[in-house]
Structure 1
Amino acid sequence: MQKRFRFTNIYAIAAIAVVGGALFGFDISSMSAIISTQHYLCYFNQGPNYWGQVTADNPKGHCSGPTASTQGGITAAMPGGSWLGALTSGFLTDKFGRNKAIRIGSGIWIIGSAITCGSQGIAMLIVGRVINGFAVGICSAQVPVYISELAPPSKRGRLVGCQQWAITWGILIMFYISYGSSFIGEENTPNAWRVPWGLQAIPAVILLVGLCFMPESPRWLAKHNQWEEAERVVAESHASGDSAHPFVRKELKEIRDVVEFENMNADVTYLELIKPHMIWRTHIGVFTQIWSQLTGMNVMMYYITYVFTMAGLSGNIMLISSSISFVINVVMTIPALLWIDRWGRRIPLLVGGTLMATWMFTTGGLMGSYGHYVPGGIDGVGAASWSVSGPPATAVIATTYLFVASFAPTWGPVSWIYPPELFPLRVRGKAVALCTSSNWAFNFALSYFVPPGLEQIQWRLYMVFGVFCATMTIHVFFAFPETAGKTLEEVEGMFLEGQPAWKTKVVTKRTMALEQGDMESGERISYPAGVEKKRRTS
């Protein structure tokens, strides 16, 4: 029987898998680019102004579009579905495997994109976005788990961080597709938004097909007693098929020890994650995802066109200026991919939180000091209820770019890298699903409340996010331990030993030497002390 071809290079595997992250990026930028166009505003109009109706309040004869609360609901439909999808993914991944769970998600995305593209009204649009969100929830939760369980420790941060880079590329590509589509047809016809929302199904097809030629997670295989296949996957992924390689032997030994220990325990549920021995790391993983949303990045991504409208930009200039932030997002994620495993996890989170707090407070101060309230919003868009002009407006645009440049190499990738590293094998699928669901729960809340927030409290919203950024920095210093360079099994030992977060450090030289085969093949590989102690006393 002829052996089926499959990808074994870890970089090729990651490159295909992270397309699941790009799906989220497509949604962010398509919504950001589309919600300010007359094609969208007229088709889903709920406001007092209609196409061609020229009045003193509407001198351009433009449509008002959905109300601020309705637009918040339309935007929030996707993260709402993602919250449910992320929670469901825990059961899917444990039963069917990481690979198949992501395939299920990509298939659901195709269905959601078809419904969104063909929307005949706000209700149908929301349904399509909920389905799309369900797919994104599955993929965003399980792609990091899949890659982290395949990647060697010294490259794990870089490879899982590719998820965030894929998100940034998805944002950039779909923004320009949406921008180009805005020139299709008359300004009050729906073709301009149907095209990009239809095209976003194509990457999901690529992901679905590509996953058919990729291996399953060796840790999931081992957990389900498929040891021969698990050994073949580890050997092919890390040692060109050499099962005698020291790193392959060490990896398999640690996987075997953990699986044997965990087989003595019953199958876990989500309740396991709040038990005394697990709740501390659960809180860390959950807050990693919550804080990544409370940075305020949603304001800069979903609603950046509103922000730049308030800074005096309009039309094509506003859209092009908005796209610059997406370019910055892509470019500034690259340093993290190159050096995140040297920097570790703590330093990027601490530096990023400090810088983002600075830019949020600065933006809020500029808008509050030099801006003024616009009753009814600029061009009738309620969320664009504040106006600033002149040099302060230029400074607001600059601080927006600086904020994105601070988020991109820090909280952006680390929020996806960190949670899968925190948990032992027996709970990893459900734990990361819970952490990711908290991301989407807060994404939902912010997507819904940011437009009314911009309308009601204006510049003060930036101050709120600035306080969040300062608070998360303090939280990281005292509670988030360093996991970079450690095997997933060694991280388990670190938690069991109870090391203070601020005393943990990055491990690089030892793991890299082992992966390169520099250790003697007969050298005894010791298991993490905390795990050995727990095994001896159980």
Structure 2
Amino acid sequence: MFESKIRGKTLKRIMATCCATSFCMYGYDAGVLGGVQTTEPFHRAMGYPTGTYVIPMIASSYTLAAAVCSLMVTMVGMPLGRRNCILLGNLLVIIGASLQASSWSVAQIIVARIICGFGIGFISCSVPTYQAEMSTEIKERGPQVAVTCVFLVAGAALAYWVDFGFTSMTNQASWRLPIGFQIIFAIIGSVGMFILPDTPRWYYAKGYINDPAVQSTKQDIISSIKLEEDNNSDFNILDLIWDRSYLRAGRRIRISFMILALQQMMGINLSVYYSTVIFAQVGLSPFLTKLLAAIMNTLFAAGTIPLVYTIEKVGRRNVMLYSAIVLTICMSIFVAMISLPNPSASTQWIAVAAIFVYNIVFGYGWIGVCWLYGPEIAPLKLRHAGAAAGAFGEWLFSFITVFAGGIALENVGWKIWLWMALSCAAAVPFVWFLCPETSGKTLEEIDFIFTKIGSQNRDPTSGNLTSHDLTEKVTVTVVEKV
């Protein structure tokens, strides 16, 4: 077992820095190609590719690789541990980014982005789980993951500003340096994570730990493990379709997948990857398209900041529910404005305002909460599978929206955004019926919410258990500890 001499606040600061840097790199990699893929030096290096599918395939190849890697994590996540998965992810990004920045053909850059995609797949599966399990207080868990997701979106914004500055050049450095810059993030994340331990819950699940520093949470963790063992928690693949088990593990993993799949269906990655294309189709000048793309992604990042201070007060469920309503309205306005046959300056700027507000609200409501919710609700021994299922949903539907969406933007134009508007509307009943509130509860208490008893006795309007069920849970916990 790896033993770290780092303790207390120092450990928390290093952990926060490593997780934030790794997710910033993830966001940067998602946005950096969007600002350079239309430039002449990039097309020259790629041999002036023809066909509407080539650039979308370059952009989306890494999302497909990340989706495949997410499935792999369901098998290797527990043996490797959260820490080693993050380290492996950073190493793969260093290799992939180096190959991307030195590419001279479509084939090379696709292979390079696939390697990067595997790295980002490991990181996106493991970072939220690592942070959730390293939290020592209930109220720390939400803000910690929310802060990391601020850096995720800030990475995409940074990528567009770097692109905006470098694409004024006409040489090969104009796109190679922005792409290669992500290596710095990977190195910082690797060095910090190398000196950190894995999570106490992972050590307990593997039977490795007996450290007095984590004894305050030991009994709850052991009780959770015992609950899983006593109720035959071996995962059955059929539970993903119809889950009748006591722990509802299949249902929880299904929700983890669906919440991040739906996040992508709502159009955010299409907005990030093709920001410049969107504003060009609105009818704005090339200079304005690049400037507004950078501003929009900056506002997207700014929207994530208030979540850090409100996620525990407002609650996960309310944040997602009410923001989905606002997103539906914004996307409906955007579609209405860009669908007009003879757009005027006023309709163009109303469309710009609507997509700006959409990005701000999406940053607040459907980034940090979604990445936190999946790892929170999964059972301890299947938490890696829950996080991987969520990341698989994210990356699979990111590939679909980025690849198919990129082609659709060229062929059907504004009509592709009808898909996104309907997905935003579908998010409202999804949260209302399937997502109970998890704020203010330990990871072990969340187990009880999803058991047969807990799920059958929730208040549908709030997602909380009745007072009788909470009393029963407290009684069970006290008896177990005695």
TM-score normalised according to structure 2 size: 0.89
Structure 1 contact 270–430 (Cα < 8 Å) conserved: no
Deviation, 1:273, is 5.4
Structure 1 contact 168–330 (Cα < 8 Å) conserved: yes
> 1:477 and 1:370, CA in 2 relative to 1: closer, same or farther beyond 3 A?
same
Asked if 1:216 corresponds to 2:198, the answer is yes
Deviation, 1:492, is 0.7
Asked if 1:143 corresponds to 2:111, the answer is no
Superposed CA deviations along residues 462-508 of structure 1, whole A, max 9, x for unmatched, are 2221111101111211121111111111111111121336244579x
Q: Give the structure 1 partner of residue 225 of structure 2.
A: 259
Question: Which of 47, 51, 56 is equivalent to 1:72?
Answer: 56
Q: Give the structure 2 partner of residue 391 of structure 1.
A: 346
Asked if 1:121 corresponds to 2:89, the answer is no
Q: Give the structure 1 partner of residue 16 of structure 2.
A: 14
Worse-superposed segment, 11-20 or 27-36:
11-20
Deviation, 1:206, is 0.5
Where does 1:28-177 land on structure 2 (aligned, <5 Å)? 28-44=30-46, 46=48, 66-151=50-135, 152-177=137-162
Alignment partners' CA distance in 2, 1:406 and 1:530: 40
Partner letter of residue 36 of structure 1? T
Alignment partners' CA distance in 1, 2:176 and 2:8: 38
Alignment partners' CA distance in 2, 1:467 and 1:361: 9
Structure 2 contact 97–183 (Cα < 8 Å) conserved: yes
Deviation, 1:443, is 0.4
Q: Give the structure 2 partner of residue 190 of structure 1.
A: 172
Question: Which of 307, 313, 331 is equivalent to 2:302?
Answer: 331
Partner letter of residue 165 of structure 1? V
Alignment partners' CA distance in 2, 1:311 and 1:490: 49
Q: Give the structure 1 partner of residue 403 of structure 2.
A: 448
More helix by share: 2
Deviation, 1:164, is 1.6
Alignment partners' CA distance in 2, 1:267 and 1:351: 34
Query: Alignment partner of 2:340: what SS?
Result: helix
Superposed CA deviations along residues 236-282 of structure 1, whole A, max 9, x for unmatched, are xxxxxxx6xxxx2xx22101222344456888457385353223222
> 1:308 and 1:529, CA in 2 relative to 1: closer, same or farther beyond 3 A?
farther
Query: Alignment partner of 1:486: what SS?
Result: coil
Alignment partners' CA distance in 1, 2:82 and 2:400: 28
Q: Give the structure 2 partner of residue 477 of structure 1.
A: 432
% of aligned pairs identical? 23
Structure 2 contact 100–108 (Cα < 8 Å) conserved: yes
Asked if 1:340 corresponds to 2:306, the answer is no
Asked if 1:438 corresponds to 2:420, the answer is no
Asked if 1:199 corresponds to 2:157, the answer is no
Partner letter of residue 168 of structure 1? V
Query: Alignment partner of 1:502: what SS?
Result: coil
Partner letter of residue 252 of structure 1? K
Alignment partners' CA distance in 2, 1:112 and 1:149: 29
Alignment partners' CA distance in 1, 2:220 and 2:189: 31
Alignment partners' CA distance in 1, 2:142 and 2:353: 30
Question: Which of 452, 458, 480 is equivalent to 1:500?
Answer: 458
TM-score normalised according to structure 1 size: 0.81
RMSD: 2.5
Alignment partners' CA distance in 2, 1:162 and 1:264: 37
Where does 1:266-277 land on structure 2 (aligned, <5 Å)? 268=234, 271=237, 274=240, 275-277=243-245
Alignment partners' CA distance in 1, 2:14 and 2:195: 11
Q: Give the structure 2 partner of residue 355 of structure 1.
A: 326
Superposed CA deviations along residues 56-92 of structure 1, whole A, max 9, x for unmatched, are xxxxxxxxx6532111111110110110121222333
Alignment partners' CA distance in 1, 2:366 and 2:259: 9
Structure 1 contact 79–441 (Cα < 8 Å) conserved: yes
Structure 2 contact 312–440 (Cα < 8 Å) conserved: yes
Where does 1:498-537 land on structure 2 (aligned, <5 Å)? 498=455, 499-500=457-458, 502-504=460-462
> 1:268 and 1:206, CA in 2 relative to 1: closer, same or farther beyond 3 A?
farther
Q: Please, which runs of 5 or more residues in structure 1 have no aligned partner?
A: 47-64, 235-242, 372-387, 508-524
